[in-house]
Amino acid sequence: MGRRCQPRWEIRVAGAYRSPAGADVFISVVDISEFGCRVLGPSRNLFVGDKVTVFVDGLDPHEGEVRWHERGIAAGFRFVDPVDAGQLDLLVAHCAGRVKLVPQQWQEVSEDDHAP
């Protein structure tokens, strides 16, 4: 198993993604790191490998790729370029009291694990 180098933050913020077909889908972002995020409520028409533009309330839009997907329940996006650390710090600070670091044991992943 590998170990993530960057911390993941358990958080609840509004977001959306633009699908390959150009549709905007509203989601809830439930954890985030500089390199990706996990979301709830994605479209059932999303597939692993799809390229999307991810919009997270409080951050600049990011190009991403679908890494895993549980049809209509949750999905993991990997960002093409990392989120600016300063923006991520501001988002985490803004959500103080509602945000926490994802437990270390959940940060251990393998190559094909369900992780963004």
Domains of the chain: 2-99 (2.40.10.220)
State residue 102's pLDDT score. Answer: 53
Residues 6+ apart with CB under 8 A from 34: 6, 79, 82, 83, 85, 88
State residue 111's pLDDT score. Answer: 38
Give the residue ranges of the chain where pLDDT is below 50: 1-3, 105-115
Read off the pTM: 0.78
CA distances from 89 to 8, 11, 37, 84, 92 (A): 12, 12, 15, 9, 5
State residue 72's pLDDT score. Answer: 86
State residue 114's pLDDT score. Answer: 46
Amino acid, single-letter form, for residue 103? P
Helix (H) or strand (E) holding 30: strand 24-32
Side-chain-side CA neighbours of 64 within 13 Å: the count stands at: 34
CA distances from 16 to 2, 13, 58, 84, 97 (A): 29, 10, 12, 18, 23
